Amino acid sequence: MLRIFVSLAAIYATVVALAWFFQDRLLYLPHMGREHVGTPADRGMEWEQVDLDTEDGLTLDAWWIPAENPRGSLLFFHGNAGNISHRLDSIRQFNRLGLSVLIVDYRGYGRSEGSPSEAGTARDARAGWRWLVEAAEVPPEEVVLFGRSLGAAVAAELAAGLAPDVSPAAVVLESPFRSVPSLGQSLYPFLPVRWLANLDYDTETYVTRFTAPLLVIHSREDEIIPFSQGEAVFEAAGEPKEMLVIRGGHNTGFLDSEPEYSDGIEAFLEELAGLRRD
């Protein structure tokens, strides 16, 4: 029995060590689709490629997709896998809502330089913000920050870190998690994730640090990030805020839930963000 116990303990220790060593590779999945699969032109949208310069000297790949008679502009942060070309359906949805879109590939994703990290994605987000308000000359009060999954943490961190006198029109977080340790512990209850984690992405705290109107979107059927995680983020945030409950899977809910998905965002933009169509 002692020999069996020692063997099991050794196996468990090995699993814990591997989880600690490879945790970045479990979160960041740029290899799951490095090549572009299309462009906005394939969906009938005008667009241009944009190079973004980060504070630490990297060049990021981004797309600018202007809307006709825009009500505002959306800074889009995607999830942890694939690249910007895998978000064409989402871009088209936002364009139809009257939002011009700047979508950014994080460092190490798609055609962007570098390797992903938590500090790095924060710098990438700031590079996107600077391009919108400085190069494109979009007033901050006309910018909507949007993030899905990992991107929700990136968007929330950007909103929390902006100067006190700088506020976007709104923040939209789709399928957010409370934090990496919290999500990891719920997904891997047999591991001491809170002790192992060297990544944070504390969305639940970020939302307490900005006052822009917040919309949290989450599906009860989300098979990757439990609905309870999104609920906790929503509860932590101050007013004004709304929650849009959708249906469908983690990667398909925004399509599965049409037209309720777009109608819900439209209402939020009109009523809380103050971005009305001409």
- Which residues are designated catalytic? 149, 222, 250
CB 60 within 8 A of CB 49: no
The secondary structure element, H or E, covering residue 2 is helix 2-21
Q: Is 109 exposed, middle or buried (0-12, 13-18, 19+ CB in 10 A)?
A: buried
Rounded to whole angstroms, the Cα distance separating 5 from 100 reads 60
Residues 6+ apart with CB under 8 A from 252: none
Rounded to whole angstroms, the Cα distance separating 163 from 167 reads 8
Q: Tell me the residue type at 161.
A: G
According to DSSP H, which parts of 62-144 are helical?
88-96, 118-130
